[in-house]
Structure 1
Amino acid sequence: MCKKIAVVLNDSGQTETIHESSVIKVYSKEKDQWEEINQFPFTLKGLMVVKAIRENMLYLVETLGECKIIVAKKLSGVPNSMLDMSGFTIVEVEGEPEEFLDDVLERIEEYEISLVEAAKEKEINTRPVSPKDDGHYYINLKELQNKNSGVTSKQALLPFLNNTIFHQLKIICSHAPKWLEEELKRTNMKSTIEMVNPNEYKIVVCKKTCDEV
């Protein structure tokens, strides 16, 4: 798990809404200490046009890079949707970073562990499998979510995409996850989508070749 957290702050160093913020600071935990590794001015204050909001949010996503945890006083509407689609874990907290960074990280880690344990209890495999152990993986999201509606596409795929070396991943789903395209761009991967049946699609994910980069 990447131990980097972005925090939306006001001039007083307190968490703020993204429409009233003044700066975003990024913290990284090295050993047992949190260090500020980046900061940049950012606010959506005064922006009323959706296009302008989206453009600013795209800039934010690109600037944060591999940091996929963001903390704010409150996040809703278009900013929330765009961050969610881009694979972010969103946490709403009031206060100063030093008061909550450890708690936020601990809560996220506990949540991820609980998902794994819950899946084990229900004997449902929530991650892609490689039947021949040859780097070719497969997951039927449609079947998985029919068995367990609490499992999202992000929960099933993100840990795999971020932590597994593979040649190809085949996904069967009822629709293409909205967040997947941005995640594949970020990790230098490509995909093809094919409708195999009504309301059923096959997505094949693999690394880009040198001439495609």
Structure 2
Amino acid sequence: MAREIAVFIDGDGATTSLTEPGKIVIYRRQQGKWQSQSEMPFCLDHSSGMPGVRPQLAAMVQSLGTCRVFIARSVTGLLYRELEQAGFSIWEFAGQPIEFLEYVLIQEELAAQQQTAIKAVPLPIVETGPGCYQVSLKDIQHSGNGLTSKQILQPLLSKNFYTIEVLCSHVPPWLEAEWTCGRLDCHAEKMAEGLKLTIRKQNCG
């Protein structure tokens, strides 16, 4: 994978919220060291509302080239969804880039390895209709293949979908966090065989 990471920082060089004025710095790891490759001032103009924000984000995405890892102090709502749909891996950190760049790179490389492993394992995921899926975390985890709930569900959540029905014994903590902060529309229902989660998305396509 390309060792490039985009970080949104303020005038003091620390990460800031994407809703605040700042600059995007693309860092690249070369010969064991992180070096700044490019900088671009960026400040969202909210005067035209959300319809005006989308083209600004699209221009920003285009300026980042092949870099698909983005870090800011905070990325929420429409900003998060637009970056996610553009294929970005999004991280939230407070502090100076040197404090977390190496950690993010290692986690990204591990995730890429895990995705390769997942592709080699047939998963009992059923597509019940266009954009509608069912998956049993209980069956997969009891199979002993070592996959985690995040490894199983994230590829599905990155798709365009209407609903994903998940049978599990409990809500995975990472999924509960996404649910609580409003990034996912999720409903839990107790069933005889466990807990059924219904995850919905407003649009598919």
Short-chain TM bin: 0.5 to 0.7
Matches of 1:64 and 1:147, distance apart in 2: 35
1:34 aligns with 2:34: yes
Which of 150, 154, 163 matches 2:153?
Answer: 150
Pair 1:155–1:119, CA change in 2 (3 A): farther
Indicate the SS of the match to 2:153. coil
Task: Report the equivalent of 1:124.
Answer: 122
Runs of 4+ aligned residues of structure 1 deviating over 6 Å after TM superposition are: none
Letter in 2 for 1:152: P
Q: State the percentage of identical aligned residues.
A: 23
Q: CA deviation at 1:152?
A: 2.0
Q: Deviations over 1:3-43 (max 9, x none)?
A: 10000111111001111131110011112111111101002
Task: Report the equivalent of 2:184.
Answer: none
Letter in 1 for 2:105: L
Pair 1:152–1:141, CA change in 2 (3 A): farther
Pair 1:113–1:43, CA change in 2 (3 A): same
Matches of 1:69 and 1:98, distance apart in 2: 15
Letter in 2 for 1:35: Q
Task: Report the equivalent of 1:14.
Answer: 14
Q: CA deviation at 1:47?
A: 4.3
Indicate the SS of the match to 1:20. coil
Matches within 5 A, 1:13-162: 13-44=13-44, 46-47=46-47, 49-117=49-117, 123-124=121-122, 142=127, 146-147=134-135, 150-152=153-155
Matches of 1:18 and 1:92, distance apart in 2: 10
Q: Normalising by structure 1, what TM-score?
A: 0.58
Q: Deviations over 1:113-154 (max 9, x none)?
A: 33444565xx3279xxxxxxxxxxxxx9948x6457615258
8 Å CA contact 1:70–1:89 kept in 2: the answer is yes
Matches of 1:142 and 1:31, distance apart in 2: 45
Q: Count residues with an aligned counterpart.
A: 145
Q: CA deviation at 1:111?
A: 2.6
Indicate the SS of the match to 2:26. strand
CA-based RMSD: 3.2
Gaps of 5+ in 2: 137-151, 163-205
Gaps of 5+ in 1: 127-139, 157-172, 176-213
Matches of 2:107 and 2:76, distance apart in 1: 21
8 Å CA contact 2:45–2:53 kept in 1: the answer is no
Q: Normalising by structure 2, what TM-score?
A: 0.60
Letter in 2 for 1:124: P
Matches of 1:69 and 1:82, distance apart in 2: 13
8 Å CA contact 1:61–1:86 kept in 2: the answer is yes
